[in-house]
Amino acid sequence: MRDIIYAVIVALSIVVTVQSAHTLYLTLYTWNRPPSEASAPEQFQPPRLSFTVMLPARHEEAVIATTVGRVAQANYPAGLMQILVICSADDEGTIAKAEEKITELRRQGVRNVSLVVFHDKPINKPHGLNAGLAKAVMDVVTIFDAEDDIHPEIFNVANTVMVNEQVRVVQGGVQLMNFDSSWYSALNVLEYFFWFKSRLHYHARRGATPLGGNTVFFARDLITRLGGWDETNLTEDADIGLRLSAAGEPIRIVYDDRYVTKEETPPTIRQFIKQRTRWSQGFMQTLKKGTWRELPTGRQRRLAVYTLAFPQAQALLGLYVPFSLLTILSLKAPVLVALVSFLPVLTLLGHFLISVVGLYEFADAHDLKVSPIAIPRLAFGWIPYQLLVSYASMRAVLRHMRGISNWEKTQHVGAHRELADARGLELGEEPSRVALFRQGAGESAAEG
């Protein structure tokens, strides 16, 4: 009996080690390739494409006005932009704030922002996007979340990439910024950092790309032809990415530290768990839906299944390390078995060290400072964070099994904006880059 247990431990350890090493490779995929593959173009094409910006929002009273303002004042011809704020009819608070902002913008001469209100169900993001898509009239459709801080040049980036490379889908970089807010925020920030900066490029190259939920640009006719977003799916973004991949549509990932869309980490653990549960459950839905079967090659299908099934595996992985430690200590396993069972710990250490370096890379890229407490916090928070993610995955499995699939919305408080404002004041700068543009635009208008 003991021999069987030892054999299982050894086999599991090897599998986990291999998987962990592969994840490590994907985490650093971009760094192992020429920098030009991932970065944004250095010179922009003249504006040629027009953009419909969809801003789905629900209970976003705290942030929607600022976001609308920033999108409206992006550095792109207003005549080539249509901005749609999308709300459900019962969300009176957000509607009121949005209308207030739209009125204010109209007083300033900005007339390309309008409100789309839907009255039917389901009340979720994909349904809102489909409602917005029906009102979209421009060449390219793009999505930003209500709390996003976009870069003023993002539309020039997308325009140049789509024109130069003749691609019809572009995923821009999204980056969580408030790495110092809580014990888990640095880890959350780094997840985004490595995902968008590195791993997503691997997926795009292989042709099985689960897209992000915002800063993604679609040719409107393409998305219309695909039938829009799946309103029953909690991760409509991953789903549409796989449907595009199955249709053979190349997807270009552009992650450039200069142009990332800035977001915030969930403000509380409860919110974090809700978000993760939704993502994990969404992946399970997408896996069950079977879109991955339409991917042309076996390699693509395997990659898709591996990615979509990972949350379920993650539910078990979080328990594996303490379980193996407990087993080894209580069973007094042979030394060789014990050594093999520690291999996942080594790869875990490798991940941690990569995270430490990644944190400094991230901070360097965004001119932020890593406090002395950040690394110990990262070290001590590492295991609890993995357990948190595992718990969310387990919660997702349970919800999925019980058929519960309501949209648990993540609260946004604009923590990343506080960070940006604080940093700006520290540097003696205007809190917003858009403000600088506005100032410049005002001066040009005065001269003209």
Q: What is the binding site for other proteins (CB under 8 A)?
A: 28, 31-32, 35, 335, 338-339, 342, 346, 349-350, 353-354, 356-357, 360-361
Q: Write the CA distances from 330 to 36, 78, 304, 324, 326, integer angstroms.
A: 52, 68, 38, 10, 6
Nearer residue to other proteins within complex by CB, 342 or 437:
342
Alpha-carbon distance 379 to 25, whole Å? 21
Quote the Cα angle for 431-272-402, to 5°: 145
Shortest CB 178 distance to other proteins, Å: 23
Q: Give how far the C-alpha of residue 168 lies from the chain's centroid of Cα atoms, to the nearest Å.
A: 20
Residues 6+ apart with CB under 8 A from 288: none
CB neighbourhood size of 261 (10 A): 21
Nearest to other proteins of 18, 425 (CB atom): 18
Instruction: Provide the minimum distance between the beta carbon of 257 and other proteins in the complex, in angstroms, as a whole number.
Output: 11
* Between 51 and 259, CB nearer to other proteins: 259
For residue 194, the SS3 value is helix
Compute the distance between CA of residue 304 and CA of residue 206 in angstroms, rounded to an integer: 10
Q: How far is the CB of 352 from other proteins (least distance, A)?
A: 10
Both tokens of residue 157? 């980036």
Residue 321: CB atoms within 10 Å: 18
- Report d(CA 235, CA 439) in Å as an integer: 39
Farthest CA pair distance, the chain = 86
Judged by beta carbon, residue 54 or residue 254, the one nearer other proteins is 254
Q: CB atoms < 10 A from the CB of 243, how many? A: 22
Distance CA 213, CA 235 (A): 8
Kindly tell me which of 27 and 73 has the beta carbon lying closer to other proteins. 27
Minimum Å gap between C-beta 293 and other proteins is: 34
CA distances from 242 to 22, 58, 216, 230, 245 (A): 21, 26, 14, 12, 5
Using alpha carbons, select from 62, 106, 57 the residue that is nearest to residue 86. Answer: 57
From the list 320, 297, 317, the residue with the least C-alpha distance to 309 is 317
**Triad 442, 150, 188: Cα angle to 5°:** 150
Q: Taking the complex as a whole, how short is the minimal distance between the CB of residue 336 and other proteins, in angstroms?
A: 9
Min CB(406)–other proteins separation in Å: 42
Output the smallest distance, CB 438 to other proteins, in A: 33
Cβ closest to other proteins, residue 183 vs residue 342 = 342
What is the closest distance, in whole angstroms, from the C-beta atom of residue 382 to other proteins in the complex?
A: 15
Using DSSP's 3-state secondary structure scheme, residue 446 falls into helix
Instruction: Kindly state the smallest distance separating residue 346's Cβ from other proteins, in Å.
Output: 6
Name the residue nearer to other proteins (CB basis): 42 or 120.
42
The CA distance from 398 to 208, in Å, is: 27
Phi-psi region of 383 (alpha: psi -120 to 50; beta: other; left: phi over 0): alpha
Q: Which is nearer to other proteins, 32 or 43 (CB)?
A: 32
Segments in 77-147 forming alpha helices (H): 92-107, 125-135
Cβ proximity to other proteins: between 14 and 356 the closer is 356
For the CB of residue 343, give the shortest distance to other proteins in the complex, in Å. 9
Phi, psi at residue 42, to the nearest 5°? -80, -30
> Is 434:70 a contact under the CB 8 Å cutoff?
yes
Closest to other proteins by CB, 306 or 342: 342
Q: Of the two residues 28 and 78, which places its CB atom closer to other proteins in the complex?
A: 28
- Whichever of 196 and 283 has its CB closer to other proteins, that residue is 196
